[in-house]
Amino acid sequence: MKPKGICLHTPEVLALLTEGQVTIERPIKDLPDRIESITCIPGHDKPGEYVVVSETEPRYALKCPHGAVGQTLWIKETWGAKWNEETSSVSLIREERAYKASGGTAYRDCWRLAHHMPQWASRLQAQLSNVCVTQNAQGGWMWVLTLTRKDKSE
């Protein structure tokens, strides 16, 4: 499977760095009105797929857009370039990139948002170790993803 990218907020990146694992929630988009339930398809050969039962729509399968269990994800986080004194220029070399979660300082405090991070600038990979669905207090449905840090060399 080709690695996919996923945007993480700074506290989520910190948890992944310090604890090696993080559980995040992302909203499920484009659902019909008045959903009765979303349940895992038991014994289904495609992990990460769920059955949506709605009052207005027939049953249909819902697939997690972030991938299935075992999928490798590259982490998108807030990052920036640093000033290189030797070359008197902005540098994007791996050792000279700043990451907000690590307390770095970007050149002129110009941070680049996580969703603009290209794969070559990513320093972290994680494996999707669990995918489930939950309903929040406001009645919205959420993907609950557990990510486990993975060495980039793996």
pLDDT in tens, 39-79: 665 545 565 667 776 666 676 777 888 888 888 999 999 99
C-alpha–C-alpha distance, residues 123 and 152, integer Å: 8
List the chain residues with pLDDT less than 70: 1, 32-34, 39-49, 53-57, 59, 92-95, 153-154
Token pair 């269990």 is at which residue? 69
Nearest to 109 by CA among 76, 77, 82: 82
Tell me which amino acid residue 39 is.
Answer: T
C-alpha–C-alpha distance, residues 105 and 13, integer Å: 16
**pTM, full prediction:** 0.81
Tell me which amino acid residue 95 is.
Answer: E
